[in-house]
Amino acid sequence: MKTRNIRFILVFGAFCITALLLVQAYYLKKAYDFSATAFNDKVSLALISVADRIHKESGEPLPSVEAVQQVTSDYFTINVADTVSHLFLENILRLEFSRYGIEAGYAFVMYDCFADSIIWREYQLPGSAEAPNFFENLIINKKDFPIHELPRDSHKIGVYFPDKNKYIFSQIQVLTFASVVVAVFVIFFIYVLLVVLKQKKLSEMKADFVNNMTHEFKTPLSTILLSAETLANPKNIVQSERVQRYAGIIAEEARRLKLHAEKILETAILDAEKPILRKSVFQAHDYIERAAENLRVRVEERKGTLTVHLRAEKDTLLADREHFRNVIYNVLENALKYSKEIPEISVETFNTGNKFLSIRIRDKGIGIPKRLRRQIFNKFVRGVAGDVQQVKGFGLGLYYVRRIIQLHGGRIDVESRVGEGSSFTLHFPLAKG
């Protein structure tokens, strides 16, 4: 199945599941709001009945203000003309709440407006320490209810439901459980989606690597075979110049195969937990000049230029010489590989503070697309769009470069613009002392 089709199916599936989750969340909120409204209505009706019974029992008229008020989502008050006994209020509250099917835990107090204090309080909340703090902070504080609107002969009963939210969710627990299950399923699906896409990408990268490796090994092998067949021809034995030429071709292609094999082996070694680095003190400028000279011939064959400016005052490193040489050569080779017809490459060194030797290698090549700049240091990724066979390589060079620099405690920065070229800056820690 094509990658585009797989992505379409996965994205469509993710969209459907997400839409289901949103619909589930919408109806869960609707159910919660409906249950909360129903709860508030039942509590208000029950407290109105309580207020009515209190005023009938006392024979006092109802206050001029509204008998029952909802101060917050879980706090209600009853306005009464006189104080009420604790036992009487407890009994009628239990009776009315039971009659209206209210099973949530609650606490209640009696507030005396003349003394501006709570006469008594009752917490019917086993194991809960939340109610006392609530009443101390809310009921006694005058700003939390409109006490200035009450007549002087009015008192207040406060009823608080500290576990109202838990109670409402318990009324819709089936729908809540279903929503949680759907949410877990969506998270799992997204995880599977990411894993599938990652595995698909790795599969494509490995397939590309195999194709490139086949191409890279097939070309020199074909050249070696052709040269060997030419040498095996008796007519060419007496022609020493021709023999020497084909022998040189065989040697060059054999070296090329060796380099490819070494690069693959080096990458495998770097994947180990603790790669061995044979560090020693040396002058980095010597190795940079040598690597540049080795590449200069190939640059000049394409009528290009390679300039070197070694401006760093300090270039003494404690590093693995071979790996350092390979890092410089890899970046230089990439600069040539991704250059246009006439390459323009420059190498510059400078010190970043007193801690790092910085090596900047610029080219005026094809540049790296923005979407690939963070990926080019991964294995098998190549900073070129289109036909990857046009540019030779396995996509291992920059992975190797960054890994070696990191093992030495340094870093690598990249700047690039498509069509204008790229700049790689390598930072190696200077040797101490």
Write out the chain's pLDDT in tens, 433 residues.
555 666 677 677 777 777 877 887 888 888 888 888 888 889 988 988 888 888 777 666 655 557 788 888 888 888 877 777 778 888 888 888 888 888 888 888 787 776 666 665 555 554 444 444 444 444 444 444 444 433 444 677 888 887 788 888 877 777 777 777 777 877 887 787 778 777 777 766 666 666 566 556 656 666 666 666 666 666 655 556 666 666 666 666 666 666 666 666 566 555 555 667 889 999 999 999 988 988 887 888 888 999 999 999 999 999 999 889 889 988 998 898 888 778 999 999 999 988 999 999 999 888 888 878 777 877 766 555 444 444 455 567 788 888 889 989 999 999 998 888 999 999 999 998 6
214: its two tokens: 């086949």
Domain presence at residue 93: yes
End-of-domain residue from the set 171, 200, 232: 171
Closest by CA to 291, choosing from 368, 350, 359, is: 359
> pTM of the full predicted structure?
0.47
Domain presence at residue 2: no
Domain presence at residue 424: yes
User: Whole domain around residue 123: which residue ranges?
Assistant: 7-171
Q: At what angle do helices 321-337 and 284-301 cross, to 10 degrees?
A: 30
Question: Distance (Å, rounded) from C-alpha 125 to C-alpha 123?
Answer: 5
CATH number reported for the structural domain that contains residue 180 in this entry: 1.10.287.130
End-of-domain residue from the set 139, 171, 203: 171
Question: Distance (Å, rounded) from C-alpha 160 to C-alpha 106?
Answer: 5
User: Which pairs with CB-CB distance under 8 Å and at least 24 residues apart come from 293-297?
Assistant: 294/329, 295/329, 295/332, 295/333, 295/336, 295/345
- Co-location of 105 and 215 in the same domain: no
Question: Distance (Å, rounded) from C-alpha 328 to C-alpha 281?
Answer: 17
